Amino acid sequence: MAESKNIAMGPSRDKLISKTYLSRATEPFGTDALNTLLAACRHSNGLEQVTGALLYHGGYFMQLIEGYDDAVERTYARITSDPRHEIISVLFEDEISARFFPDWSMGFRVSEDADAHSIDAIYETANRSAARFPINDFLLLFGNDSG
């Protein structure tokens, strides 16, 4: 019997997905708290081969995580169970053909006031149509120097 044929039907380790959510910090994060959070994220994302980018602005987080689907789901489960924030909505989740942030275990930016309308626009566009996450606007907020 060719039993091995069915192995390919199991959870696929080669399916890359990307997920982006918006959340509200339960209490405002200062620099120390953000650095502590980032160190923990980067450590566990390194183990999970998860990459992505995190934006903090005025008490809100917007975070994109990407990687193999099982790793992304485990990571997202850790994120949702962290009492330091509350998820407002998942803005985007889909299969991707390549990573947006291949070199970043978690890029990070505290956004400036000038970016506030960009974040609002990303949120509104994504909320209007989950199929049209404005990834380019999100990438632009990170420039080239946040790894």
Q: Which residues bind ligand FMN (CB under 6 A)?
A: 37, 40-41, 44-45, 54, 61, 63, 65, 75, 78-79, 82, 84-85, 106
Judged by beta carbon, residue 63 or residue 133, the one nearer ligand FMN is 63
Residue 96 CA to residue 59 CA, distance in Å, equals 29
Nearest approach, Cβ of residue 78 and ligand FMN (Å): 4
Judged by beta carbon, residue 25 or residue 135, the one nearer ligand FMN is 25
Nearest approach, Cβ of residue 80 and ligand FMN (Å): 9
In Å, how far are 63, 68, 113, 114 from 24, measured between CA atoms?
11, 26, 17, 20
Nearest approach, Cβ of residue 6 and ligand FMN (Å): 31
